[in-house]
Structure 1
Amino acid sequence: MSSPVYTAIQEKKPMAFGRSERRRRSAAVEPVTLKILVAGGFGVGKTTLVGAVSEIKPLRTEERLTEAGRPVDDLDGVEAKTTTTVAMDFGRITVNEQLVLYLFGTPGQDRFWFLWDELARGALGAVVLADTRRLADSFSAIDYFERRGLPFTVAVNCFDGADRYPPQAVRDALDLDPEVPVVLCDARLKDSARDVLISVVEHARETGARRREPALP
């Protein structure tokens, strides 16, 4: 037969466990959420990258290309492309338990530039996807982020059959500042796309640290 003291201890154990659980839950830190833009020229792989890395079904706003749009949209090098983003792509990736990235893919055509200011609001940084076959298509996005002072990484999407160039050659061709990261990637592969996004976060943090440094007297 159990003593009253033993019975009382047994009855209190679940209550003590419950308080401990609540303390652990209250001590858990909510992850930091950051906004990253994915930009670049028409047909460079922005929708592909967001779709490859997103842990949720990406929100896409694509429309079919029409014959009427061909004089406006330069399809040189991407003749097989049948759809185009007309507003944005949206995805999400949990990098670790402390960091979640929200991805916003921008439309690539010049006629949708009016959307960029809204998409860029509150962004930590950006990816500028580049295609070495159409490298000049990257200039508009690069100029935009440079004017806004938004940190960005240039990610060269290595298309099948396209010539491969070292990052320094791409840097020289795009006339980038030395601190701007240039990386090679395959936008179809999750790990490759994830590495690009981590590069953006690290570059943005380094840029922020430099801007906070006091000016020398």
Structure 2
Amino acid sequence: MDSAPFDPPADTAYLRGHETAVKIVIAGAFGVGKTTFIGSLSEIRPLRTEEDMTAASVGTDCLEGLPGKTSTTVAMDFGRLSLSDQLVLYLFGAPGQERFRRFLADLTRGALGALILVDTRRLEDSYDIIGRLEELGISYAIAVNTFPDAPAYSLGQLREAMDLPERTPLVMCDARERQSSRDALICLVEYLLTLHPEPAR
């Protein structure tokens, strides 16, 4: 599927005329679809560090609510997406297991912001990651990955359950579909551009 051009808001003229590379972290709990999300978007072959899950993960990685989950990211995912001739996103997918949480600070270094994927079947698993990104001072948006068997809630109910500030973007997406994933990223980028306006001349 071809990507439509992304037109930055009028007050971001400093992005025009040269390529701007932006680092974005894709975060979320174990099994929420981060690898799938980056794979659906990347215009290059995504770098993946997935390994098969073995008996060694029993008692460490909780598979409740994750039928068919047989592999997991053990370092990071990486992809590249051009939103326009001027704006290129470098996507870094963070592993979701608690034992890898210490890597989050390193992975977010230099990032403009983060997109947090959540799964309504295990919404509470996302609270720790949201809190950690807030501690790190990373601006973020939330994308609810719509799994077929996941319970449906309104955006208002989800915002209340996650205690999200009104300004924090909250969108629905299907991580398997390129356009849906792209729309979620554009929502994040537009939000980040409001936080980093054009410098005064």
CA distance in 2: counterparts of 1:76 and 1:207, whole angstroms? 38
Match runs of 1:57-76 below 5 Å: 57-76=45-64
Aligned to 1:187: 175
Q: Which runs of 5+ in 1 are unaligned?
A: 1-27, 213-217
Instruction: Return the offset for 1:206.
Output: 1.6
- Identity rate, percent: 50
Counterpart amino acid of residue 153 in structure 2: Y
Pick aligned residue for 2:115 from 109, 127, 150: 127
CA distance in 1: counterparts of 2:99 and 2:151, whole angstroms? 29
Aligned to 1:33: 21
CA distance in 2: counterparts of 1:29 and 1:181, whole angstroms? 28
Which fold has the larger relative contact order, with Cα–Cα distance below 8 Å and residues 6 or more apart in sequence? 2
CA distance in 1: counterparts of 2:190 and 2:137, whole angstroms? 16
SS at match of 1:127: strand
Counterpart amino acid of residue 77 in structure 1: G
Aligned to 1:99: 87
Residue-by-residue CA offset, 1:73-109 (whole Å, 9 max, x unaligned): 0111113100000000000000011100000000010
Aligned to 1:167: 155
CA distance in 1: counterparts of 2:105 and 2:134, whole angstroms? 13
TM-score normalised by the chain length of structure 2: 0.88
Quote the RMSD (CA, aligned, Å).
Answer: 1.6
Aligned to 1:52: 40
Instruction: Return the offset for 1:115.
Output: 1.3
Instruction: Return the offset for 1:146.
Output: 1.1
TM-score normalised by the chain length of structure 1: 0.81
CA distance in 1: counterparts of 2:135 and 2:102, whole angstroms? 15
Count of residues in correspondence between the two structures: 184
Match runs of 1:17-28 below 5 Å: none
CA distance in 1: counterparts of 2:25 and 2:187, whole angstroms? 13
Runs of 4+ in 1 over 2 A off after TM superposition: none
CA contact (8 A) 1:167 1:182 kept: yes
Residue-by-residue CA offset, 1:49-72 (whole Å, 9 max, x unaligned): 000000000000011111221210
CA contact (8 A) 1:91 1:102 kept: yes
Counterpart amino acid of residue 142 in structure 1: I
CA contact (8 A) 1:151 1:200 kept: no
Q: Which has the larger radius of gyration?
A: 1
Aligned to 1:87: 75
CA distance in 1: counterparts of 2:24 and 2:129, whole angstroms? 14
Counterpart amino acid of residue 156 in structure 1: V
CA contact (8 A) 2:105 2:136 kept: no
Aligned to 1:116: 104
Aligned to 2:185: 197
